[in-house]
Amino acid sequence: MSRLRKIKAPIPLLCYGVCLIGFLAVCLWHFAGDSLARANGRLAEAQMTAGDFVLAGLEQQADGTLVTLDGDPQMIWENPDGRAVRTLRVEASYSDEPREVCLYYTNRAGEDFSQDKRVFPQKQADGSYRYTLPYGAIASLRLDPCSPDMNKSIAITLGAVTMNEPAGAGSYFVPSWYQCFCLILYPGLAAAALSLARQAWKKRR
Amino acid sequence: MALEFACFDVVLAFAALFGLAAFFTLRCRVHSALSPLVSLCSISLVLAAAGVAGVLRPAVWAVYLVCFVLGAAALWQKRQDWKALCTPGAVLFWAMSAAFAVYFALRQPLFTDFDEMSFWGTAAKLTHETGGLYTVAPVSWPWQATQSPCLITLGYFVQALGRYGDWKVYLAYDMLAFACFAALLGRVEWKQYRLAVPLAAVCWCVPYFFTTYNHTIFLSTVYLSAYGDIPSGLVLGGTVALWLALREGEGPRWPVLPVLAFSALIKSNTFVLALAAAGLVAADWLLTPGTTPWKQGLVRRIGFAAACFAAPLAAYRGWGRYTLALALKNAESGGMGETSPDVVTVAINGIRMILGLPVGDYYEARRSQFYTACSDMLHQYLTSDGTLSMIGQGVVVTGLILALFFAAWLVAGQRGLRVRIGLFALFSSLCFLGYNLMLALSYGFIFKPFQAERLEDYNRYVYTYYIGWFLIALALVGLALRHAPRLDLLGHAGVLALATVMLLRVNQMVLPQLSVLGFSDAEFADRQIQQSRAEAVAAVTDGARLFYVYQGDNGLHWFTATYDFYPQIVDYSGDGGGTFGLESLRPGEDTVEGYYFHPYTEAAFAALVQSTGCEYLYLDKVDDLFRESYGGLFSDGLAAARQGETLVYHVDSLGHYSPVEMEVP
């Protein structure tokens, strides 16, 4: 404790340092947790087909293609065994432009899908869509594979749908744009708060 | 195209801006937190003036050259003073601008909103592609574009030497916002970081806080918009903050003048805001001379106060004369020569009406429209029907802002400063009343009756003032806290609490993935489809004039096509978007098709196409109504269009339309 008191780093530097270390610690925690889950089979990679989903606004044809029936096609998957879900990569080809694609999730059984729990994909070089879900229990997923224009129907040929594809260790440590913003702003605010608290303490003494 | 080539113009613009800002700081003693705003406004004004003179392209080269030379000379001669360039405000501006430049270059957001297509974005593209102001660019609009130029020339400056990109326009707007934030931080020093950081956080939140009132389910366009409303508010606040910081130091006072002139030419309604800012600055300078006796230097103070009004007035009147001449010229050549009633004339007649004095027939006929608008605006201001911000309707926002003024007054340790804060609160409140009067006059005497009836776009007109007003109050809080405040700790804690609450509220209302910091690529999927269709059509039409058909359009698709194809011209095509068909097949009035329906017989449609001189028809969207009405004019009865094999038909010398072979995206 006495050693800690001797640290003379300015408060902002200290705050940015602590936040950076905290961020790296959380990343490391996620990486370790996922590695452990992968080792004991809770985060196993799995291939999915259209049959694993409950289809709404979509109809599967005899040749396997999915045809949209309305403007809001959905593919719903309920997590049967509480397995961990981190990523979903979807390969698909479309008869027309898919427009918006996204993935909704819930954390509890029976919970409604909402705009607040929605992730957008990153389009990969091979044209597939990769969704990354936030950490936490996933009770169900709702994949919106496309958003057809009014009065249009789109035929979707679903390719590989891969859950929990292994990710490189580096990907755990790359912050999103929003996290970058937070890493710049919040340590600064924390430093301002600490500086105020220190002055208040000095005044009181 | 490699990213580095797409961005070299932005890098050059940054270098030029840095050069001018460094010159202002090192040679003219303008604080480095203030010089970005002064530089951006000065450059934009110079380019606007050059555009009016018809020498925009050479002028932009000259501006770059002058900026480089002045900057290099100042940096070399004053190399011992470089430290003056590194202040919290300056770092905030340059770091955020650079971060957004990189971010936007990678993410490449696109214009999507109606007015971006109908004016702001298209004007930016016209200016860039022609190297002249949008007002004189060859385009098929039958009306004369007379909107104010400064945001357009600002967007032009950032990318003048490179390829056009929507994201570069967004970047220019955001740089202006960051320059206003930097001015608000003003003379805050590094050791005052506990004030600087919360102030910066509050600034970041302001555009969200006063424009968003619902939990977002669509992309929030804050920091991703080419509309002029938010920038107008930010510049109003930024101008007064700039003035406060200028007055605080020993440096010159003139840098506020180009910013005042700039603010008069952001949008047509910002002239009033520029006068409000000029009035606040002039009153502060005239009425509170500080430690010097009141009479001492009175003439000089009066002179400067007059200059504060003269700068925006000269800019506004100059632009007005230019556009009036253009409108008359346009009328002579067969276009529309009408302009809206002059704001000053409207104000005089509106005030006469309020005072019970006689007014002309035009104004008498609109008496009830004016008073109904006044009543509706009051209703919006007072009740939850008018919720427009994250804390509620106008009266609540006013309460928050006045509370902030009171807080500034409370913590100010000097009597003189308290008087100044009181005067700012009083005069800015009066300006708020004046601004509302101007809005009511606009709804009463300038807007069409149906627009006045629903107070069209009222929120975005009025939140402009709230943004500026809030920033003025915030700047005064910052000023009070920097000068021996009475309640030092409490004041700083208050600003920190304000920042925390605003951040919390913004995070509640705007999800990261629906904000500028995390938007999805899919947000622009529709625009990318439109662009790829336009590219495919352009490839087979060889720059020829296009007749445009999009059944069910409300004008947006026509504006978008005009934008996407430029410099290839999309014809006005009847009425600039809408639905074509035989009168006998007129859709119901309550549909978009019915509202924007253009009834033409087959022969009339053929004659219309013929009269436009278009060589091709671009059938962006056709329906059964179009096929039934005009299928006979097409050699294949529109079979190729129906089967998705083409979007383009060629018009031959006999007026027959035949399908053009193409790859339809």
Tens-digit pLDDT profile for residues B592-614: 889 999 999 999 999 999 999 99
Half-sphere exposure of A155 (CA within 13 A, CB side): 7
- Mutation target among A90, A94, A100 for the B interface, most CBs of B within 10 A: A100
Structure confidence at residue B217 (pLDDT): 86
- State yes or no: pLDDT of A7 exceeds 90: no
Mean local confidence (pLDDT), B192-218: 95
Q: Do A12 and B103 touch (CB under 8 A)?
A: no
pLDDT band at B579 (very low <50, low <70, confident <90, very high): very high
Does a structural domain hold residue B215? yes
Do B397 and B249 belong together in one domain? yes
Whether pLDDT at A164 is above 90: yes
- Print the domain residue range for B638: 524-659
Which residues contact residue A106 at a Cβ distance below 8 angstroms, ignoring those fewer than 6 apart? A112, A113, A117, A138, A139, A140
B416 in any annotated domain? yes
Sign of CA dihedral B58, B62, B65, B71: negative
Residues B509 and B584 reside in one and the same domain:
no
Residue type, B504: L
Q: How far is A118 from chain B (nearest CA, A)?
A: 9
Q: Decide if B511 and A116 are in contact by the 8 Å CB cutoff.
A: yes
Q: Which of A12, A120, A200 sits opposite B522 (nearest CB)?
A: A120
What is the per-residue pLDDT for B391?
Answer: 95
pLDDT tens per residue across span B416-427: 999 999 999 999
**Average pLDDT value for residue range B554-569:** 95
ipTM: 0.88
Kindly state the percentage of chain A with pLDDT values over 70: 96
pTM exceeds 0.90, yes or no: yes
Q: Give the residue from B504, B513, B526 with the most A CB atoms within 10 Å of its CB, the best one to mutate.
A: B513
Provide the pLDDT for residue B2.
47
Instruction: State how far residue A189 is from chain B, nearest Cα, in angstroms.
Output: 6
Mean pLDDT of chain B: 93
Nearest CA to B626 out of B664, B574, B570 is that of B574
Work out the minimum CA distance from B199 to partner chain A, whole angstroms. 10
Q: Which residue of B has its CA nearest to A97?
A: B529
Q: Is there a single domain that holds both residue B603 and residue B485?
A: no
Establish if A196 touches chain B: CB-CB under 8 angstroms: yes
Same domain? B510 vs B529: no
In this structure, are B428 and B556 located in the same domain?
Answer: no
Is the pLDDT assigned to residue B150 strictly greater than 70?
yes
Residues B178, B66 within the same domain: yes
CB B222 within 8 A of CB B212: yes
To test the contact with chain B by mutation, choose from A11, A96, A116, A181 the residue with the greatest count of B C-beta atoms within 10 A, namely A181
Residue of B nearest to A192 (CA): B194
Angstrom CA distances, A129 to A35, A75, A100, A143, B44, stand at: 23, 15, 11, 11, 42
**Domain-ending residue, one of B493, B514, B535:** B514
CB-nearest to B525 from A99, A178, A203 is A99
Chain A nearest-CA distance from B359, in A, is 51
Contact list, B489 vs chain A (CB under 8 Å): 196, 199-200, 203
Could you tell me where the DSSP H helices lie in B288-393?
A: 298-332, 343-354, 361-365, 367-382
Count of domains forming chain B: 2
pLDDT digits (tens, 9 = 90+) for B265-302: 999 889 999 999 999 999 999 998 877 888 888 999 99
Q: Tell which of B464, B488, B514 closes a domain.
A: B514
Give a yes or no: residue B665 inside a domain.
Answer: no
Which of A 161-190 lie inside 8 A of B, CB atoms? 176-178, 181, 185, 188-189
Q: How confident is the model at residue B441 (pLDDT cuts 50, 70, 90)?
A: very high
Assigned domain for B51 exists: yes
Instruction: Indicate whether B150 belongs to any domain.
Output: yes
Looking at residue B4, its pLDDT comes to 53
Q: How many Cα atoms are found within 13 Å in the side-chain-facing hemisphere of B296?
A: 5
pLDDT surpasses 70 at A118: yes
Question: Which pLDDT does position B6 carry in this prediction?
Answer: 67
Q: What is the distance between the alpha carbons of residues B168 and A12, in angstroms, rounded to a whole number?
A: 33
Report B:211-270 residues touching A (Cβ under 8 A). Answer: 215, 217
The answer to whether residue B568 sits within a structural domain is: yes
Average pLDDT over residues B310-324: 94
Could you tell me which chain B residue has the CA closest to the CA of A13? B193
Cα distance from A122 to chain B (closest Cα, Å)?
Answer: 8
Residues of chain A contacting B526 with CB distance shorter than 8 Å: 99
Listed by number, the residues of chain A in 36-75 with a beta carbon closer than 8 Å to a beta carbon of chain B are: none
Mutate to test the interface with B, among A196, A198, A205 (most CBs of B within 10 A): A196
Residues B409 and B432 placed together within one structural domain of the fold: yes
**Sequence-separated (6 or more) residues with CB below 8 Å from residue B440:** B350, B370, B373, B374, B377
Domain boundary among B453, B481, B514: B514
Q: Distance between CA atoms of A107 and B478, rounded to whole angstroms?
A: 44
A151 CB near a chain B CB, below 8 Å? no
- Tokens read off for B23: 């010159």
Q: Is A197 on the interface with B (CB under 8 A)?
A: no
Cβ B198–A189 below 8 Å, yes or no? yes
- Residue B1, pLDDT score: 46
**Residues B497 and B528 reside in one and the same domain:** no
By residue count, chain B amounts to 665
The pLDDT value recorded for residue B360 is 87
> Chain A partners of B503 at a C-beta cutoff of 8 Å?
185
Domain identity same for B481 and B609 = no
pLDDT band at B338 (very low <50, low <70, confident <90, very high): low
Query: Is B664 inside any structural domain?
Result: no
pLDDT digits (tens, 9 = 90+) for A61-115: 998 899 999 889 999 999 988 888 999 999 999 988 888 899 999 999 889 999 8
- For A118, name the nearest residue in chain B, comparing CA atoms only: B513
CB–CB contact B204 A116 (8 Å): no
Task: For an interface test with B, give the residue of A97, A119, A144 to mutate (most B CBs within 10 A).
Answer: A97
| Residue B155 shares a structural domain with residue B289 | yes
**B423: in domain:** yes
Q: What is the pLDDT of residues B628-647, one digit of tens each?
A: 999 999 999 999 999 989 99
Both B440 and B499 in one domain: the answer is yes
Q: Mark whether B496 and B536 lie in a shared domain.
A: no
Instruction: Give the minimum alpha-carbon distance from A5 to chain B in angstroms, rounded to a whole number.
Output: 22
d(CA B82, CA A14) in angstroms, rounded, equals: 27
Contact A191 B197 (CB under 8 A): yes
